Amino acid sequence: YDDRDGYIWMNGTLVPWRDAKVHVLTHAMHYASSVFEGERCYSGKIFKSREHSARLIESARLLDMQLPYSVDEIEAAKYAMLEANGWTDAYVRAVAWRGAGPDMGVSAARNPVCLAVAGWEWGAYYGDAKWQGAKLDIAKWKRPSPETIPTAAKAAGLYMICTMSKHAAEAKGCSDALFMDYRGYVAEATGANVFFVKDGVVHTPKADAFLNGITRQTVIAMLGDMGIEVVERHIMPEELSGFSECWLTGTAAEVTPVGQIGDFHFQVGELTKKVSDSYEALVRR
């Protein structure tokens, strides 16, 4: 993975892929002082690029880190990285973290805040599962309270239980896991938000304890334009049996139909296909 050609933008310059390294005493590695973005570039244009850059700065701020770059500078870094690699279609990963420095302990205000922007080619997130409807496990871990951790930040620390839950799901032959939150409400998947359909109305969990995804917000607006009612509310897991369709949204996942969550089954229905097709058209417009 590290011995390959290509370029990564790191702290102000493009460096060869092989040289994009950090020290083992990097604060982020010990204390999870890291935030990141996942973005997709379609035909030379990153979808909602400025929104992602602004969210990165805001995630860092929520972790008490002042990113030493503006939205414009992050935009320039992303496009410089894409151009250096010759990519027009790629996944873009920006990551900001507190680096190694004079402070080795928890408190590390003197250590620099670093930024890197990498990318890679990444097809359908759920692979072939996409068109059959992805199969989801129910995670044993719960999304934490916003009083426990800044749940609105796209912060590395929030992904510890995502990796654990996704590994457990994959071991059972599932593509992903669906989390409930600390109150027991349906929350999100390990890297995507979730939507349900019942009698032509769309229901999606209220984003009060998890990442309010940029794709989620895009799809809600798209459904509004289609004249379809969307209800953002608390959803109990017992309600899963009453929904006919289900899909996930996320930058990597795009709009992915869900066929099964635990013992509950969903059809890859007309509305799911319409939303997926409309999203695909929108990102390439």
* Residue 144 touches ligand PMP, criterion: CB under 6 A: no
Structure tokens belonging to residue 73: 């500078």
CB of 7 to ligand PMP, least distance (A): 24
CB of 241 to ligand PMP, least distance (A): 24
The one catalytic residue in 154, 166, 172, 273 is: 154
CB of 141 to ligand PMP, least distance (A): 12
Structure tokens belonging to residue 117: 């922007």
Q: Which of residues 225-264 bind ligand PMP (CB under 6 A)?
A: 249-251
Out of 211, 246, 255, 268, the only residue in the binding site for ligand PMP (CB under 6 A) is: 211
Structure tokens belonging to residue 99: 């680096």
Q: Would you say 246 and 136 are in contact if contact means Cβ atoms under 8 Å apart?
A: no
Exposure string for 43-59, b = 16+ CB within 10 A, e = fewer: eeebbbbebbbebbbeb
- 278 to each of 25, 122, 231, 267, how far by Cα in Å? 46, 20, 20, 19
Out of 33, 85, 193, 272, the only residue in the binding site for ligand PMP (CB under 6 A) is: 193
CB of 5 to ligand PMP, least distance (A): 27
Integer Cα distance of 172 and 110 in angstroms = 45
The verdict on whether 154 is a catalytic residue reads yes
Residue placing its CB nearer to ligand PMP in the complex, 100 or 139: 139
* Residue 192 touches ligand PMP, criterion: CB under 6 A: yes
* Residue 191 touches ligand PMP, criterion: CB under 6 A: yes
* Residue 216 touches ligand PMP, criterion: CB under 6 A: yes
* Residue 213 touches ligand PMP, criterion: CB under 6 A: yes
Q: Which stretch binds ligand PMP (CB under 6 A): 9-17, 75-83, 166-174, 214-222?
A: 214-222
Pairing of strands 264-265, 193-198: unpaired
Write the DSSP assignment of 141-161 as a string of letters: EEEPPTTTS-TTS-BGGGGHH
For the four alpha carbons of 79, 81, 86 and 88, in that order, the dihedral sign comes to negative
Write the DSSP assignment of 77-126 as a string of letters: HHHHHHHHHT-SSEEEEEEEEE--SS--SS--TTSPEEEEEEEE----TT
* Residue 204 touches ligand PMP, criterion: CB under 6 A: no
* Residue 34 touches ligand PMP, criterion: CB under 6 A: no
Q: Which residues are catalytic?
A: 154
Residues lying near ligand PMP in the complex (CB under 6 A) are found at 38, 154, 188, 191-193, 211, 213-216, 249-251
